[in-house]
Chain A
């Protein structure tokens, strides 16, 4: 498996990269971790003429908190997310999700920006970003713009990024006290893409009422899906088995999985329901223990 020939560029600054992208247009692809792109190029499913490697642009890899917002650089590797103390403290969901993405070697290369920009509903970060109500920052010829995660994924492998845009940052509101998060996916073996995956972040107020909820689903829809009805079923009410079951039911109804080697449509809906329940419980446990 060998890629088709291409021209390789390795810009040293964002501006340079953006101008190259503009110059080469549709024939150019950004190379980040390369662990979605290079496999596709080896199979010749992707045959870009120009590869713009953004790995040598300084300042794109970081995890930090600023004014109540968590900021993750687009070039931050999965392994860095996995081992970050800041994330462990506030967002246990990152430890959940990274452990389930591929394997350690892939996580040493793959980046969160690439994972989102790839626009693949089978990838795990999109659902997590939905649960966390993230905002994606795209930097293009006109400068930076913020794209709410709900407006980011369009269609099959399609995102709101335009040619010339580089996904430079992800912004996530720091969670208020009483918040917990969790992610799990059913997979056929470790490192596999999800049969179905569920990301949950939930905030419980002092009076036991759910004040905020985010639920994202992996690989059960042509595009990454927010389980909006499920969130609504929880918000503003005390958390009971009943509301949790309702949320599970809605998620399983609102997704749109297809039958394939990983299981039938019905099975996947059932897994979604089960995982929604389990992840809510886990998130709440974490909220209570934090």
Chain B
């Protein structure tokens, strides 16, 4: 039996008829064709599917589309405003925070909430804060750096150097 739901996605309202079992991630990817949200696992472990649901970062593979009825979601496609990259998008690009890019949308959305709650996190808080997002490529050093950079940008402070540091 199909259910009618109304969801605001990246500022745009959609009314859809969906199967109750439709996972939110599939609604985003398959129904709305927003393919920036990825799927990396089947046990809610990897965070590649992370989006914001009413501002909270969640794993969209473990939420039903019907649960998002009446709510508003942000996917990676909705992060840049008026063609202006968000501080995190800029941070990832400037600090080589991505290689293959598959984990990146989830990382950025997770970090968006992290910085919203705590714009000046310690390195430890950042690492624990992205513990639900696996990246197989970067070794995380530069993801941490990217988030620190974005934090500085949000705080309006001088931006840290984006040059690689070598011993």
CB A187 to nearest CB in B, in angstroms, measures 11
A7 interface neighbour in B1, B59, B61, Cβ under 8 Å: B1
Given contacts A1-B42, A10-B66, A109-B63, contact A191 B132 (CB under 8 A): yes
Contact in complex: B64, A38 (CB < 8 Å): yes
Give the chain A neighbours of B69 by CB distance below 8 A.
Answer: 10
B44 interface neighbour in A5, A51, A106, A190, Cβ under 8 Å: A106
Binds B, one of A21-29, A96-104, A177-185, A269-277: A96-104
CB of B75 closer than 8 Å to a CB of A: no
Give the chain A neighbours of B43 by CB distance below 8 A.
Answer: 39
Give the chain B neighbours of A2 by CB distance below 8 A.
Answer: 21, 23
B42 interface neighbour in A10, A34, A42, A104, Cβ under 8 Å: A42
Give the chain B neighbours of A5 by CB distance below 8 A.
Answer: 19-21
CB of B38 closer than 8 Å to a CB of A: no
Contact in complex: A108, B58 (CB < 8 Å): yes
A34 interface neighbour in B45, B53, B63, B117, Cβ under 8 Å: B63
CB of B141 closer than 8 Å to a CB of A: no
CB B94 to nearest CB in A, in angstroms, measures 24
24 A-B pairs within 8 Å (CB atoms) are namely A1-B42, A2-B21, A5-B19, A5-B21, A8-B64, A31-B64, A34-B64, A42-B23, A42-B42, A42-B61, A43-B42, A55-B67, A103-B132, A103-B133, A104-B57, A105-B110, A106-B44, A106-B59, A106-B62, A108-B53, A108-B57, A109-B59, A109-B62, A190-B128
- Which 4 A/B pairs are nearest by Cβ-Cβ distance? A103-B132, A8-B20, A1-B42, A108-B56
